[in-house]
Amino acid sequence: MHADRGEQELAHSKLDHACLDACIDCSGSKCCGAISYGGIIEPPFLTAFDIAQIEKGLGLKPDEFSDLRKNPNTGNDVRFLRTNPNGGCFYLDSGRCKIHDFRPVDCRLFPMDIRRLEGMNKWVIYNFQHCELSEGDFSLLKSQMPPALSILGDELEDYASVPVPGMVNLMYSIISPV
């Protein structure tokens, strides 16, 4: 599924830029403030579109805000948002996201994700104990599925299959096949 830049821009405009109800009174300390490689929550995966948005929004080069890793399942290089040296998102400040308007698709979807399970890509929702999702949150997350797929485009296999060691221990519910 190849999406050109124009299709990605349109899909991005359809992504809801609001917060989940569960995030409104959250300090982010158990999710965004706790991300780390191999931790309970891995740093956000960055699509090429995310990288372009962050570059434009911050005026930084990708090496200044992201880390490059190899996806052993595809052999492709993939990028993840850089974390603070002691863990936590570099862009979380006093419980608020400094890049909220152009945060990565992976951040917008959390605690929903796409995982490669039993040879198929499936939408899952992690049963993250610190997120008390409302019915409105579930509806909002489900509405993000089509535009997220458009933005992921050719990067879907990397997004779904890249190892996230810490998150494999989180319980999840399967929503649907992709």
Does 144 score more than 60 pLDDT? yes
- Convert the pLDDT of each residue in 33-43 to its tens digit: 888 888 888 99
What is the rounded distance in angstroms from the CA atom of residue 36 to the CA atom of residue 166? 9
pLDDT category at 48 given cuts 50, 70, 90 is very high
What is the rounded distance in angstroms from the CA atom of residue 116 to the CA atom of residue 159? 9
- Convert the pLDDT of each residue in 72-85 to its tens digit: 999 999 999 999 98
**Among the residues of 66-144, which ranges form H helices?**
105-109, 135-143
Does 20 score more than 80 pLDDT? no
pTM: 0.88
What is the rounded distance in angstroms from the CA atom of residue 32 to the CA atom of residue 110? 10
pLDDT category at 31 given cuts 50, 70, 90 is confident
Q: State the pLDDT at residue 49.
A: 93
What is the mean pLDDT of the segment spanning 93-106? 90
Closest by CA position to 142, among listed 96, 169, 108: 108
CA distances from 38 to 35, 81, 143, 166, 168 (A): 9, 14, 29, 5, 10
The domain limits of the chain are 5-177
Average pLDDT in the chain: 87
- The phi-psi region of residue 147 (left if phi > 0; otherwise alpha if psi is between -120 and 50; otherwise beta) is alpha
Does 160 score more than 80 pLDDT? yes
Instruction: Say which range, 101-110, 131-140, 159-168, has the weakest mean pLDDT.
Output: 131-140
- Of 177 and 7, the structure prediction assigns the larger pLDDT to 177
**Residue 53 — φ and ψ, nearest 5°?**
-65, -45
